[in-house]
């Protein structure tokens, strides 16, 4: 196998309908830390080894914005260290999701490949998977 030309998919940017609401969701629910806020319409977060951006849909586009009936991006994921960490995260965030504009999409379950996860959505309906994956979860990042 050839040496990859990159260091992994560690940057995701989402357009959102209400930046303040989405910012609160990702800060309060997932503990994302702001690393750069260039202006009132953009905020960049990190959890240490990644970069996650939220971009406010401009007012000139917001009036015409119509959410898709199904999102083209199936989901994004956060990696956790163990199946127990998936369950712990589920117990901690499940009761807080409604007040922050999200909801549980799929309950925790074991997958055929040995991974374990649950799915939840953010205020704009973007689906997030909290995932224990036997190979990736044991990696350490600097």
Confidence of residue 139 (pLDDT cuts 50, 70, 90): confident
In 3D space, the residue among 131, 128, 132 whose CA is nearest the CA of residue 71 turns out to be 128
Domains in the chain, start-ordered, CATH in brackets?
11-58+74-132 (3.10.180.10)
Confidence of residue 4 (pLDDT cuts 50, 70, 90): confident
- For 30, the 3-state DSSP assignment is helix
**pLDDT higher than 80, residue 1:** no
Distance, CA of 35 to CA of 90 (rounded, Å): 26
What is the pTM assigned to this prediction?
Answer: 0.89
Q: Could you report the per-residue pLDDT of 23-64, keeping only the tens digit for each?
A: 999 999 999 999 999 999 999 999 988 999 999 999 888 888
pLDDT on residue 64:
81
- Helix (H) / strand (E) containing 42: strand 42-46
**pLDDT higher than 90, residue 2:** no
Averaged over 101-109, what is the pLDDT? 98
Pick 60 or 72 by higher pLDDT: 60
pLDDT on residue 40:
97
Q: How many CB atoms lie within 10 A of CB 89?
A: 20
**pLDDT higher than 90, residue 65:** no
Pairing assessment for the beta strands 116-121 and 33-39 based on DSSP bridges: unpaired
- For 4, the 3-state DSSP assignment is coil
């Amino acid at each position: 196998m050839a040496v990859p030309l990159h260091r992994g998919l560690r940057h995701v940017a989402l357009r959102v309908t209400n930046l303040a609401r989405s910012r609160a969701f990702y800060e309060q629910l997932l503990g994302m830390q702001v690393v750069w806020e260039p202006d009132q319409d953009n905020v960049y977060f990190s959890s240490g080894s990644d970069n996650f951006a939220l971009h406010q849909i401009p007012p000139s586009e917001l009036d015409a914005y119509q959410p898709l009936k199904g999102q083209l991006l199936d989901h994004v994921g956060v990696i956790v260290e163990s199946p127990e960490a998936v369950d712990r995260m589920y117990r901690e965030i499940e009761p807080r999701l409604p007040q922050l504009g999200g909801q549980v999409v799929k309950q925790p379950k074991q997958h055929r490949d040995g991974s374990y996860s649950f799915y939840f959505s953010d205020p704009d309906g973007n689906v997030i998977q909290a995932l224990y994956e036997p190979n990736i979860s044991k990696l350490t990042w600097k």
